[in-house]
Amino acid sequence: MLRLIVVFAVFATFISSNKGFYLPGLAPISYCKVQHEQPNCDSKVHLFVNSLDSVESVIPYEYSKFDFCQTPKNTPSPSENLGQVVFGERIRPSPYKLAFGNNTACDEVCTKTYDLKKEEDVKKLQFLKQKIAENYQQHWIVDNMPITWCYEVADEDQKYCSTGFPVGCFVTESSVPQDACVISNKFNSPNTYYVFNHVDITIKYHSGNGEDWAGARLLSAKIEPRSIEHSDSKSCSKAMNAKGIPGELKKEGEVKIKYTYSVTYLEDNKLKWASRWDYILDSMPHTRIHWFSIMNSLVIVLFLSGMVGMILLRTLHRDIARYNQLSDSGEEAHEEFGWKLLHGDVFRPPRAGMLLSVCIGVGSQISIMISVTLVFACLGFLSPANRGALMTCVLVLFVCLGTVGGYISSRMYKMIGGERWKTNVMLTSFLFPGIVFGVFFTLNLALWVKGSSAAVPFTTLVALLALWFGVSVPLTFLGAYLGFKKKALEPPVRTNQIPRQIPEQSIYTRPLPSIVMGGILPFGCIFIQLFFILNSIWSHQIYYMFGFLFLVFLILAITCSETTILLCYFHLCAEDYRWWWRSFLTSAFTGVYLFIYSIHYFATKLTITGATSTFLYFGYTFIMVLLFTLLSGTIGFLACLFFVYKIYGAVKVD
């Protein structure tokens, strides 16, 4: 462990000392004014728009779905990786023209006119009003950084910076405004929709004077949305009236919305380009961690794990020493008692052994996938600036680790005496990946019906199927071939032909109560971190605490292992040798607690409305719970298998 820390320290030192080294997707861009344009310097600041989403709905929409100012259809868009497409990101060029160092005031983008006599125009206006009421947020990007909307929260002295800003705000008939309406006291007309048709953009940059690079580098881009009733003069004064749309539209006349923007450039040489994400990550709402509470939970989990391990090792050491001492002294009448009585039955093949081997194979594949992903994330390769890299890494690793899944599944199946190897490899290749893809395809149909940007295109679905059938399945067959070719893992003791009768069990050693109790401690070490993960998924927060997440993952693995081993030991002492499925389900039951917590989070923390959004939430939650159940169950089973092999291999049996 010490060597690993030293290697990471040397690598981090190399990164910090080498000025020419940049992680993928994080290379800086230098900007300069038009009159000072240089070969490696860009005078145009490209502003991109992303999909719009809301905390009240799981259904995002592409920017073009709204009747905003658009770029020509033939304008090229940035290329998107697989992760961005699966996550529903649709980054498109915007009609806003920004030139570095050129401050502008109230430049017009376009004017939208809606004839209330035309049904098509009324539908566009109704769609815009509906999304304002649902608090949909726009997400703009400049220099690969999100444009942030910083605002003050009531009863707090700190400003929060969100990576999105609302389309508008809605004041109900009871004159209760949305949170987006509190930025101005002009939003006071009941049953009125206010469109944020003007934005003030402030861009800070770091000058390259005195540095080893020319031009300037952008540090931040902040936005202040406003609703303005434009006059004929070119002015966007803050004293101007708000642009409101009545809730009930008359079927005559027209509604005009003029979209404008202002840009201000400010020089700031105190902040370095490498630290430009800090103000976003440190000031986002709902991501301030109560470090004392989390560290307290980790210390408790580590202490309990240490106590469980110490008690278990001391008890086992005493039992094994006593068994071997009695065996050497020839006291046959008192030789066997407790868990040693089961040496002839403990390795008896379980029921549904093929399904168990498939679960362990796929679970091992998921375990290694998550471990490698977290290592890459801790090294900075999957930072928020490298969009879509996290999901791309997960998909590619899962596909490439098919060999691991097939190998471990076949080894497990051969160890329990299975002979239907073709069925085993087919189930490993298609059972759980098929369930996940089937649920994902069903959810994608719901998104497609709603016209959401999160609906994965048909070509991407074909690409996913090609990865599955063209890469994952052949690698799984290869792993299964290597696994079946090797000699089966021999148990340390022989199995009797006649199974031993299992005595009456107490309520604590019965299967269901022990399985239910076994998932409590592993869930206790992750539920705080789980809150922030769910926030990043459903409340559109940026998650960046991968180092801490990796630590929690290690604690989860240790806790699952020790809890399963402890309960397995108690069951063996109670002369119950049915440990195969129980060891898997004990730690896998943590996934049930995860699902219960997801229901609690949905009911108390989210404001999601609508049947489709609810269906999507629980559909994606099911996929997450299924993968987590296989992960935790596999960790517990493999630890228990190692434990049983060790203790029965350490005693002397005639």
Asked whether the beta carbons of 102 and 41 are under 8 A apart, the reply is no
Residue 572 CA to residue 575 CA, distance in Å, equals 5
Strands 198-207 and 254-267: parallel
Model confidence pLDDT, tens digit, residues 224-250: 998 888 776 677 877 677 777 877 777
Task: Please report, rounded to a whole number, the percentage of residues in the chain having pLDDT higher than 90.
Answer: 36
Residue 305 CA to residue 555 CA, distance in Å, equals 9
Mean confidence (pLDDT) of the chain: 83
Predicted pLDDT of residue 162: 84
Q: Out of 208-222, 282-296, 589-603, give the one with best mean pLDDT.
A: 589-603
Q: How confident is the model at residue 473 (pLDDT cuts 50, 70, 90)?
A: very high
Residue 532 CA to residue 530 CA, distance in Å, equals 5
Residue 305 exposure: Cα atoms within 13 Å on the Cβ side: 20
Over residues 146-159, the mean pLDDT reads 73
Dihedral Cα 323, 325, 330, 332, nearest 10 deg: -20
Three-class SS state of 535: helix
Predicted pLDDT of residue 334: 47
Other C-beta atoms within 10 Å of 544: how many? 18
Other C-beta atoms within 10 Å of 286: how many? 12
Number of helical (H) and strand (E) elements in the chain, helices listed first? 18, 19
Q: How confident is the model at residue 324 (pLDDT cuts 50, 70, 90)?
A: low
Residue 439 exposure: Cα atoms within 13 Å on the Cβ side: 18
Angle at 289 between CA 288 and CA 293, to 5 degrees: 150
Q: Report residue 460: phi and psi, to 5°.
A: -70, -40
Three-class SS state of 44: strand
Predicted pLDDT of residue 327: 58
Long-range contact pairs involving 7-13 (C-beta distance under 8 Å, separation at least 24): 11/379
The residue that leads in pLDDT, 11 or 463, is: 463
Three-class SS state of 175: coil
Out of 153-157, 185-189, 413-417, pick the least confident. 153-157
Side chain identity at residue 75, one-letter code: T
Out of 127-131, 153-157, 532-536, 537-541, pick the least confident. 153-157
**pLDDT surpassing 80 at residue 487:** yes
Distances in Å between the Cα of 262 and the Cα atoms of 103, 152, 197, 462 are: 8, 22, 12, 43
Predicted pLDDT of residue 233: 63
Asked whether the beta carbons of 484 and 407 are under 8 A apart, the reply is no
Encoded tokens for 293: 């509470």
b/e per residue 320-340 (b: at least 16 CB within 10 A): bebbeebbeeeeeeebbeebb
Beta strands in 523-586 (DSSP E): none
Residue 286 CA to residue 290 CA, distance in Å, equals 11
Beta strands in 248-292 (DSSP E): 254-267
Strand partners, 48: 93, 141
Q: How confident is the model at residue 37 (pLDDT cuts 50, 70, 90)?
A: low
Angle at 359 between CA 534 and CA 620, to 5 degrees: 25
**pLDDT surpassing 50 at residue 3:** no
Report CA Rg, the chain. Answer: 30
Over residues 439-443, the mean pLDDT reads 96
Distances in Å between the Cα of 237 and the Cα atoms of 77, 165, 257, 486 are: 34, 20, 17, 78
Residue 47 CA to residue 263 CA, distance in Å, equals 12
The residue that leads in pLDDT, 504 or 71, is: 71
DSSP state of 228: -
Query: In sequence order, what DSSP letters do the residues of 83-138 get, joined into one string?
Result: HHHHHT---EE-S--EETT--EEEEEEEEEEEETTSHHHHHHHHHHHHHHHTT-EE
Strand partners, 257: 112
Predicted pLDDT of residue 618: 96
Predicted pLDDT of residue 468: 95
Predicted pLDDT of residue 380: 81
- As to burial, measured by CB atoms within 10 angstroms (0-12 exposed, 13-18 middle, 19+ buried), residue 301 is buried
Closest CA to 434 of 393, 401, 459, 464: 464
Residue 354 CA to residue 423 CA, distance in Å, equals 9
The residue that leads in pLDDT, 373 or 157, is: 373
**pLDDT surpassing 90 at residue 343:** no
**pLDDT surpassing 70 at residue 169:** yes
Residue 628 CA to residue 522 CA, distance in Å, equals 12
Model confidence pLDDT, tens digit, residues 603-617: 998 888 889 999 999
Strands 92-93 and 159-162: unpaired
Residue 284 CA to residue 545 CA, distance in Å, equals 13
**pLDDT surpassing 80 at residue 13:** no
Over residues 489-514, the mean pLDDT reads 80
Residue-level length of the chain: 654
Model confidence pLDDT, tens digit, residues 92-132: 999 998 988 889 888 889 989 998 888 898 899 999 999 99
Predicted pLDDT of residue 345: 82
**pLDDT surpassing 70 at residue 329:** no
User: Angle, to 10 degrees, between the axis of helix 611-650 and the axis of helix 546-573?
Assistant: 50
Out of 327-331, 497-501, 538-542, pick the least confident. 327-331
